[in-house]
Amino acid sequence: MVQVPDPKAAFLETQPSASALNVARCRAIAANEPREEIRGPDYLAEIFLGDDARKSLKDPATHALILKKLAAVSPGGYEYFIARTAYMDAVVERALRENTPQIVFWGAGYDTRSYRFAHLIRESRIFELDSRATQQHKRSLLEQARITIPGRLTFLAIDFTRDNLADVLFKAGYARDRQALFIWEGVTYYLPPQTVDAMLNFVRLNSSAGSIICFDYMLAVSDMADRFGAKQAREAMQAMYTAEPLQFDLKEEQVASFLAERGFQIVDHLATADMQERYLTLHDGSLAGRVLDLFGLVQASVLG
């Protein structure tokens, strides 16, 4: 029997991530978005939902009701997921087209890029890391949906706060002397600061110069005043995901120095206004909606 994530579960060791499933749900909704300009690309996300949820996505009236409910809980959250998915899709697709030797998904959750972009995989080694419970749940649903697992993809179960990241990756064939792309989506804010530091340190010490880490971060509480939806969304996350407490955030103006101190240089840094302009603009020049003003998107490269 397939395990269903419980948002109130006490331990992620035994329950799949409820926050990761919610992201998959939003991606599935976005893939059925009636506005073509902002329609999401993740046509596989719906395989992680129940039958009733999948059917509801196809009904325009129900789809509109779902969006209304999402906006009530987290204004701009749906729009943020549209932007974040498009942004990181582009990063992964570019890495595959460039034949980047290694692509590592940290806290992969229900990410489908390895399967949606399977036709682009040539020599890249791909590693998906996540908790055992989340990974097993994902793999069982992929199997049920008869999704082919690329031969160059390796699944690795890990607890980022307890296990030795180097041991896990090196045993699986990760090469420290080759370039790599690290995708760290929807993860940093659920980790203790010391774990965030340790993971960044791993990238700095164990990937060649020019390697990229792409991640999103949550704005510091002190930065949230008057930001669209920020306070409400943060409170909703804290209430919904009791097994995944919020532990790490950053001030927007400190991101560059934070990364420089850890051996990285910013390649790209998107604030909310950038996301709206790039990913929520319709053909007539108007915005499809406002993006939740709680997160930033970053790409940073390892300094030589």
pLDDT, tens digit, for every residue of 118-157? 999 999 999 999 999 999 999 999 999 999 999 999 999 9
pLDDT tier, 8 (very low <50, low <70, confident <90, very high otherwise):
very low
| Residue 266 resides in a domain | yes
Cβ-based neighbour number of residue 65 at 10 Å: 12
| Residue 10 resides in a domain | no
> Residue 245 is part of which domain span?
18-302
Smallest CA-to-CA distance from 82 within 29, 46, 34 is with 29
CATH number at residue 141: 3.40.50.150
> Is residue 269 a contact partner of residue 43, using CB atoms and an 8 Å limit?
no
Helix (H) or strand (E) holding 297: strand 295-302
pTM: 0.94
| Residue 219 resides in a domain | yes
Give per-residue burial for 154-184: e unless 16+ CB within 10 Å, then b: bbbebebeeeebeebbeeeebeeeebbbbbb
| Residue 3 resides in a domain | no
| Residue 114 resides in a domain | yes
Gap between the terminal Cα atoms of the chain: 49
Q: What is the C-alpha to C-alpha distance for residues 277 and 218, in angstroms, rounded to an integer?
A: 20
String of DSSP letters for 62-110: HHHHHHHHHHHHSTTHHHHHHHHHHHHHHHHHHHHHTT-SEEEEET-TT
| pLDDT for the residue 12 | 54
Dump pLDDT digits (tens) for 159-179: 999 999 999 999 999 999 999
| Residue 221 resides in a domain | yes
| Residue 11 resides in a domain | no
| Residue 132 resides in a domain | yes
| Count of domains forming the chain | 1
